[in-house]
Amino acid sequence: MSRTLRYDLYVITDEALSHGLSHVEIARRAVEGGADVIQLRDKGMSGKGLTKCALEIREVTRKAGALFIVNDRLDVALASGADGVHLGQDDIPASSARAISPPGFIIGVSVGNVEEAVQAERDGADYVGLGPICHTASKSDAGPACGFDVIASVKKAVSIPVVAIGGLGPQNAGKAIEAGADGIAVISAVVGQADIAGAARRLKYIIVEAKHRKGYQG
């Protein structure tokens, strides 16, 4: 990649888990707590509503110096000036998204094994979201847990960042980093907590400390 990006704490918004808070307010509190990346994820919102929301989050993340990613919707990501898009296995290929995206646009791809990760990198992905590592109730379409061992296997197979997701939180985020993850993506561990900023701050500390123990630079 042409620039150094941090994926340490990657928070995915979810209004259903946020105790009544909007996507924008979730983002605001998460970056206050040190989130490095905010992903806007809403499968039911209209394109118009999602774009309005994305434009507001774009301002929040820009002021905080955090990255802003839109889930699935490349059109919304481009229209809002987001830093990138995150694509699933059933979405358009990263190669197709890359062909119509501006220089420096970030493309992430959800993967569940080494083969999918290698293909994602080959298609031009900037990072992969690997999981679910553990069982999660936050995403009904997450699939079966793949475990911590797959993190090391994927990390050896690709040269792009590996962000672990699925059932991760303060109790096991350090284990995922020790296994080789470059970052931890969460929903309920931050968004579902009464104090989103506090939960993000605690988790970010755990991730950074685990990286220091492992000898990460930067």
The residues annotated as belonging to the active site are: 41, 110, 139
Separation CA 25–CA 82 (nearest Å): 17
SS3 185: strand
42 neighbors 15 (Cβ within 8 angstroms): yes
153 is in an annotated binding site: no
36 is in an annotated binding site: no
113 is in an annotated binding site: no
With tokens 């990255």, the residue in question is 67
57 is in an annotated binding site: no
SS3 142: coil
- Cis ω for the linkage preceding 93 (within 30 of 0): no
147 is in an annotated binding site: no
143 neighbors 132 (Cβ within 8 angstroms): yes
13 is in an annotated binding site: no
40 is in an annotated binding site: yes
130 neighbors 29 (Cβ within 8 angstroms): no
187 is in an annotated binding site: yes
139 is in an annotated binding site: yes
43 is in an annotated binding site: yes
Separation CA 174–CA 63 (nearest Å): 28
101 is in an annotated binding site: no
> Helix H segments across 65-136?
74-80, 94-99, 114-122
Q: What is the DSSP letter of 102?
A: P
Tell me the binding residues for Mg(2+): 72, 91
Tell me the binding residues: 39-43, 71-72, 91, 110, 136-139, 167, 187-188
